[in-house]
Chains A and B, each alone.
Chain A
Amino acid sequence: MTANYRLNHLRELESESIFVLREVAAQFENPVLLFSGGKDSILMVHLAVKAFHPAKIPFTLLHVDTGHNFQETIDYRDQLVERIGANLVVGSVQEAIDKGMVREETGFNATRNYLQTAVLLDSLEKGKYDAALGGGRRDEEKARAKERFFSHRDEFGQWDPKNQRPELWNLFNGRKLYGEHFRVFPISNWTELDVWQYLAVEQVELPSLYFAHEREVFKRDGMLLADSEVLPRRPEEQLEKKMVRCRTIGDITCTGVWESQASTLEDIIAEVSIARQTERGGRADDKRSETAMEDRKKQGYF
C-alpha cells in the first residue's frame, strides 16, 4: 500500500524548504530574503511563493547591489518583484563608498565582493530585520558543509562555527536575544544539479546570463572573465569573442564565465551532470585563500 506514497528527491527537498520558509514566517517578526539575482535566490523566491500561496510572500526582498552587476540581473530582479508583488530594498555599495563607510579596493583584482558584507550588515540593522534568508547550499564549499538551516549570528552579525545550535529532526530553534539575528538557509540540502533539475521541472524563467551567449571575454588565473568597464585588463590580457554562460552570478568583477553551448535548461543539466569542476571554481572570491569562504562567513558574509 505504501509503495505509491513516495516523493521523488526533488519533491522531498521542495517540501523541506517550504517547511523551513514557513517556520521563518512563524518564528520571526521581520524576516528579509536576500536576493542576489543568482539561480539559488531565484529558487528561494519560487519556493517562498509556493509556501504561502495564495497569499503574497511575507518577506521583503533585500538586494545588496555592488554597482557592478550585470544589467541582465537588475532587469530580471525588477520584473520578478513586479510579478510577485514583493517589496524590494536595495543596499547600495556605491552609496557606502561615496559616504566613506567602506573603502574600495584598487588594482587589477579589485572587487567589491568584500564590501558587500558591511553594506549587508548595515542594511539588516537599518531595516531591523531579525532573520535573513539566504540561498547558501552545503554542497557549495567546505565552510558551508557545517552550516545550519537556522544559523545564529551575534550582535555584530558574526558566525561562530563553534557556537552553533544543534539541529535535530525538524525542530528549529529561532530564539534570540535583542539585537541578534539569524541567517536561514532553506535550500541547504540542494546540490547544484538538484537546483537545475528543479528549475527545469518547474519551468522557472531565468536570467539570460545562465544560457550560452556570445560575449567578449579574457583569461585571468585560468578563468574567463567578462569584458566590462569596471574590470581593467592587464596589457597581456586580450579580448576574445566566445560562446559562454555563467554557472553562478555575482558581481561582474569576480564571476567567471564558462565556455558552453548550453542554450536550454536541459542542455545545462546535461552539462552540469558531467561537469568536472565545482561551480565555485569560477569564483575569484573563493580563490584568494584556502579558507576564503570560512573567513568571510565569520565576518558576516552571506
Chain B
Amino acid sequence: MLNTLEHTELLRFTTAGSVDDGKSTLIGRLLYDSKSIFEDQYEAISQTSTKRGEVGVNLALLTDGLKAEREQGITIDVAYRYFATPKRKFIIADTPGHTQYTRNMVTGASTANVALILVDARHGVVEQTRRHSFIASLLQIPHLIVCINKMDLVDFKEETFNQIKEDFSAFSHRLDVKDVEFIPMSALLGDNVVDKSTHMDWYGGSTLLYALENVHIGSDNNFIDCRFPVQTVIRPYSDEYHDYRGYAGRIAGGVWKKGDEVVVLPSGFTSKIAKIDTYDGEIEEAFPPMSVTMLLEDDIDISRGDMIVRENNQPEVTQDVEAMLCWFNEKPLQPRGKYAIMHTTQEARCIIKEVRYRLDINTLHRDEDNREVKMNDICRVQLRTTAPLLTDPYRKNRITGSLILIDEQTNETVAAGMII
C-alpha cells in the first residue's frame, strides 16, 4: 500500500466567491462526495441544519467558521481544508470573496496551483468574477477552472453555459492566464462536482474532481533558472563533522547536480557544488521545492540572505525594485514611507519612492490622478532598498519574485508585492 504513495501528488487550490455563489456548498459537496467527511462532523451539521429548520443537511455548514466570526457576521481571511483521492492530496485555501477581502484572496492565491472561479449561472459574469480572475492572473496561478454553478436554476441549458463561457473569454484575454477550463455544475445537487451530471448530456467535459485530479501541474515550478536562497548555515561543531559547513535552504528554481559551477551572490565568488546533502544521504539531483543542504568545494563566507546561482543565469542584483503591491493594512500606504522588506531569506529596509498608479481591479483602469492607497487596493510602486536584493520578475519565479512589506512600528505585514 505504501508503494502507491510514491505517485500521490499535492495540489493546492483556492476558491473565491461569496456565500451567494454557492462556494461553501461546493466545498461541502467536494468533501462529502469524496468521502472526506467524518461521521461526527456530519452529525454536527445535520443537527445544526435541523435546528435552523432547513430541509436536508446543509453541506455549506461544513465550512462554518469561528464563534468570533459568527457573532460578528464576518469571515476572517483564509481557512485551509484538506481532502484526498488515491491520485492526489488537495489543500483548499478557502477565502471569502467580498470586495473588502481582496487581501485574503491574494493570500490564498499566493501558493495555489489552481483557482476555482465561481459564477452563478443565473447572473453570469459579474464584477466579482472579473475581480477574482484578475487576482488569479496577478498572482500567476497557472490554471483557472470557471465553475458555472446553479445550472439547476437555469434548467441545465446549454445556451446559458455557452453565453457565460463567451462573456468570460471576452474579458479574460486581457488577463495573463494560460489555462482556463469551464465546467457547468450544480453544487447543491452534486451535478458534475464528483459525479457526472445526468441532466446535461450536451456537456462532454470532465467533472470538477476529475479536472482537479488531472490538471497538469508538473511544470508549475521553475526548473530552468537555478536559484538557491540560503536560509541558515549548518555547522555541527562535532568531532565527526569537524569541517562540515552546509548551506541549508529550499530550492527556488532549477535542477542542481554535484559538480555544478556556481556563483554566490551578492559577493560574486565562484565555486563548485561538492555535495548535495540530506538526512537520508547524499542526493544526485535537487529541484524545487526540495529542502536540502549544499556543500561547496571552496571555503567562502556565505550567510542567510545570500543566494547560490549559476554563472550564466543570474537574478538581478538591485536596490531599485518595481513591483505591484496589494495593500493589506488599515493604515494607508505612506508615500515616501519607510518599511521593512522581506524577500526570499533576505531582510532589509526600503522607502516607497513613488506610487506610479493605483489599479481599479474591476475595470483594470490605471488611476494616476488618485494615488492614495488604502487597504485592499492594488498599485504599482517604485521601491529603493537599503541593501541589494537578488530579484527575478514574479512572472518568471513566484519565489524570487515576491516580497512583503512590514510596518517597523507594529511589525504587521502591510503589503504583498510582485516584482515586475
Contact = CB atoms under 8 A, between A and B. Distances in A.
A175 B289 contact: no
A9 B39 contact: no
Contacts of B218: 2-3, 5-6
Contacts of B232: 22, 25-26
A167 B93 CA distance: 12
Interface string B148-168: 000000000000000000000
Interface stretch (A67-75, A225-233, A274-282): A274-282
Of B69, B89, B289, most A-chain CB atoms within 10 Å: B89
A299 interface: no
Contact of A162 (B39, B68, B235): B68
Contact of A146 (B78, B231, B235): B78
B219 interface: yes
Interface in A245-299: 266, 269-270, 275-278, 281, 290-291, 294-295
Contacts of B5: 8-10, 197, 201
Interface string B67-102: 111000000111111101000110100000000000
B1 A51 contact: no
Given A171-B404, A173-B404, A270-B1, A294 B66 contact: yes
B201 interface: no
B223 interface: yes
B420 interface: no
Contacts of B82: 138-139, 189, 191
B289 A12 contact: yes
Contact of B110 (A8, A53, A169, A270): A169
Contacts of A103: none
B1 A269 contact: yes
Interface string A215-232: 000000000000000000
Interface residues of B, number: 81
Given A54-B238, A197-B2, A170 B80 contact: no
B40 A278 contact: yes
B403 A171 contact: yes
Nearest to B244: A54
Contacts of B293: 53
Interface in A1-43: 1-3, 5-16, 18-19, 22-23, 25-26
Contacts of B404: 168, 171, 173
A176 interface: yes
Given A1-B223, A8-B5, A166-B413, A277 B38 contact: yes
Interface string B209-251: 0000000001101010000000110111110110010001110
Contacts of B244: 54
Given A12-B10, A51-B248, A170 B399 contact: yes
A108 interface: no
A143 interface: yes
A167 B412 CA distance: 11
Contacts of B399: 169-170
Contacts of B2: 197, 200-201, 266, 269
A22 B231 contact: yes
A9 B9 contact: yes
A300 to B, nearest CB: 16
B367 interface: no
A168 B76 contact: no
Given A54-B244, A177-B411, A266-B1, A146 B79 contact: yes
B130 to A, nearest CB: 22
A48 to B, nearest CB: 10
B419 to A, nearest CB: 12
B66 to A, nearest CB: 5
Contact of B39 (A166, A191, A201, A277): A277
B4 to A, nearest CB: 10
A50 interface: yes
A83 B223 CA distance: 38
A204 interface: no
Contact of A8 (B8, B111, B221, B402): B8
Nearest to A1: B223
A18 B80 contact: no
A177 B76 CA distance: 24
Given A10-B8, A54-B236, A169-B110, 16 more contacts: A2-B223, A5-B287, A9-B88, A15-B290, A22-B232, A22-B291, A55-B235, A138-B82, A142-B64, A161-B68, A161-B76, A166-B328, A168-B413, A191-B82, A191-B84, A277-B39
26 contacts: A2-B218, A8-B7, A8-B8, A8-B10, A9-B5, A9-B9, A9-B89, A12-B289, A22-B231, A22-B232, A22-B249, A50-B278, A53-B279, A55-B237, A139-B82, A142-B65, A146-B77, A146-B79, A146-B80, A165-B412, A169-B111, A171-B343, A173-B413, A175-B411, A189-B80, A278-B40
By Cβ-Cβ distance, the 4 closest A-B pairs, closest first, are A50-B279, A175-B411, A18-B291, A9-B10
Interface of A: 1-3, 5-16, 18-19, 22-23, 25-26, 49-56, 138-139, 142-143, 145-146, 161-162, 164-171, 173, 175-177, 188-189, 191, 193-194, 197, 200-201, 266, 269-270, 275-278, 281, 290-291, 294-295
